[in-house]
Structure 1
Amino acid sequence: MAKHKIRPNAREWGTELKVLRARAGRTQKSLAAPLNCSDTLISGFESGTHWPSREMAVELDVLVAGEGTLVRLWDRLNSKQAYPAWAGDLVKAEPMATVMRKFEATVIPGLLQTEDYARSLVVANNGLAPFRDIEELVSGRMERQRLWDLPDPPRMVVVLNEAVLLASIGGPQVLSEQITKLIDMVETKRIRIHVVPLDTSGPPAVMPFTLLSFEDQSDTLYLEDALSGRMVTEQDDVARMDTLFSDLLGVALSPEKSLKVLHQHRRKHDDEVEALT
């Protein structure tokens, strides 16, 4: 069985739970029973390998007489670890979307990243940050991917520049594992990927963007750079980027050919790994 990783934000919350539980004279089993869960799950919360829902945090706070301590700590840590403040609107919108259309020119989108790939990017962008902060950002990116566990997650169409599959982020082993994740998500019909070939002359776009469609409201555009991000609801702007996405699909490979490209690049990275061993 795979060993769960301890994550800093979850460990801090779990330590507080353990202190309050001991103070209240409760055992892990006595907390688990009224919550209809296992004492193993309570142990996971305390050790930092599992992160509770907010509803679970509220119920546990009542059981250990925390007087709101666990809930306030959950709110602070969940906000801190989940995403940068300026990305909050996007993160809130993603679970409500029916379709997401994403273009990326330089990196794999965050919702599709492996943990090691995400860590390599976070370290590159936060070189002087303490280890704890790095791990919290990585943990947040992984928590955000719980979107794919929803009963009816959004459909996602991704256009990637082929250069993204070649960029030396984390080394060949990390890249091979990252591409494997993309292949798995494509083959299980969770996402659709279109690759813009390297030899495409004058691709229609170079800046990343995301278009979100909803069941009961107009489409929304999300634009992001290295320092900030913003939601755009002005329909003229949304329509212009909708057209641009169609142009990108026009120069990109079909889903079938794109999947072949993914397999080709994974083999290249696997060969590099073998050459290094």
Structure 2
Amino acid sequence: MANGSRQAAWEFFGTELKRHREEAGLTQAELGYRVFVSGGYIGQFEQAIRRPQLDAAQRIDEVLQTDGFFERTWRKLIDDKRYADYFTEVVELERTATKICTFAPTLVPGLLQTAPYTRAVMLAGNPLIADEHIEEKTSARRERAQILGDATRPVYWVILHEHVLRIPVGDAATMAKQLDHIARMVRQRQVLVQVLPYSVGAYPLMGRMVQLMEFEEAPPTAYTEAVYSGNLLDDPALVKRVQEAYDLLRAAALPAEASLALIESAAEDHRRCGSTT
């Protein structure tokens, strides 16, 4: 679904929400209270500024007695089988974000991955995976990354732990080209990248992948990932804590120029390793 069509569909969702709410004689605040979100959030859903999470759509159906209409509409708009169920909403939010900040402790983030790197990650997680499934997932990640080439692309700020640069994913050539790709995007000013070096030792959010997203007219969100699961946070207090932890990581990381030099040096190390095997 194209971005324009997707936005029109969310506007339809909001229009229907407002119509059913008013027919039920409820204010935004009253519906929000029963759905366990603020009245302001209901207003943002109705204006298609913010997308509700699945549990909110389900509770709206219960309160307004709409026989699953909003859950079915949500699933049609959000559900994309190319992504894990817990990640589909994150992909949707990335498309409307004005700023994305990511901390990657172990792997290159999907928005920066090259196709060979993605394939190597897929094979490591499932050695028996079918080629067509690999290509489907790889294509999906390339499609996600298109937001970084758009005229309205978000500010994308990434902190990579040095571990990401050193651990070989795929062969040496795959790693060298992956790091070259990141360096090229930095030099083209498409992304801001800092590296958290081994010398820092213990750090906030130890080993936890985190992504913060900001929006033009909606509150920020934070996404964290665990084993085959993810958690999208929109509680302001929790998002603030994640932001504070990210700020500490940013302060501990190498400056941009030193980070770029380390990325390019690591790429050469992988290339040299490949030439001696």
Normalised to the residue count of structure 2, the TM-score between the two structures is 0.70
Instruction: Give how far 1:137 is off.
Output: 1.4
In 1: Cα distance, 2:85 partner to 2:93 partner: 14
RMSD over aligned CA atoms reads: 2.1
Q: Identity of aligned pairs, percent?
A: 27
Instruction: Give how far 1:136 is off.
Output: 1.4
In 1: Cα distance, 2:84 partner to 2:201 partner: 35
Size of the alignment, in residue pairs?
A: 205
Equivalent residue number for residue 152 of structure 1: 152
The 5 A counterparts of 1:61-72 are none
In 2: Cα distance, 1:55 partner to 1:182 partner: 29
Q: Give the SS at the match of 1:80.
A: coil
One-letter amino acid of the structure 2 residue matched with residue 144 of structure 1: R
Q: Give the SS at the match of 1:248.
A: helix
In 1: Cα distance, 2:192 partner to 2:3 partner: 32
In 2: Cα distance, 1:105 partner to 1:240 partner: 18
Instruction: Give how far 1:55 is off.
Output: 8.9
Q: Per-residue CA shift, 1:87-137, capped at 9, x if unaligned? A: 111000001111111001000000000000001001111223222222211
Instruction: Give how far 1:147 is off.
Output: 1.4
One-letter amino acid of the structure 2 residue matched with residue 241 of structure 1: V
In 2: Cα distance, 1:244 partner to 1:139 partner: 32
Instruction: Give how far 1:227 is off.
Output: 0.5
Equivalent residue number for residue 238 of structure 1: 239
Normalised to the residue count of structure 1, the TM-score between the two structures is 0.70
In 1: Cα distance, 2:220 partner to 2:144 partner: 21
Unaligned runs of 5+ in 1: 1-51, 57-74
Equivalent residue number for residue 177 of structure 2: 177
Conservation of the 8 A alpha-carbon contact between 1:126 and 1:134: no
Q: Per-residue CA shift, 1:199-239, capped at 9, x if unaligned? A: 21212222011000111111101111230112110011100
In 2: Cα distance, 1:55 partner to 1:250 partner: 38
Q: Per-residue CA shift, 1:143-192, capped at 9, x if unaligned? A: 22121232211111111110110111002100000001100110111111
Q: Per-residue CA shift, 1:234-272, capped at 9, x if unaligned? A: 011100000000110111000011011011101111111
Equivalent residue number for residue 208 of structure 2: 207
Equivalent residue number for residue 126 of structure 2: 126
Equivalent residue number for residue 224 of structure 2: 223
Conservation of the 8 A alpha-carbon contact between 1:80 and 1:136: no
Equivalent residue number for residue 19 of structure 2: none
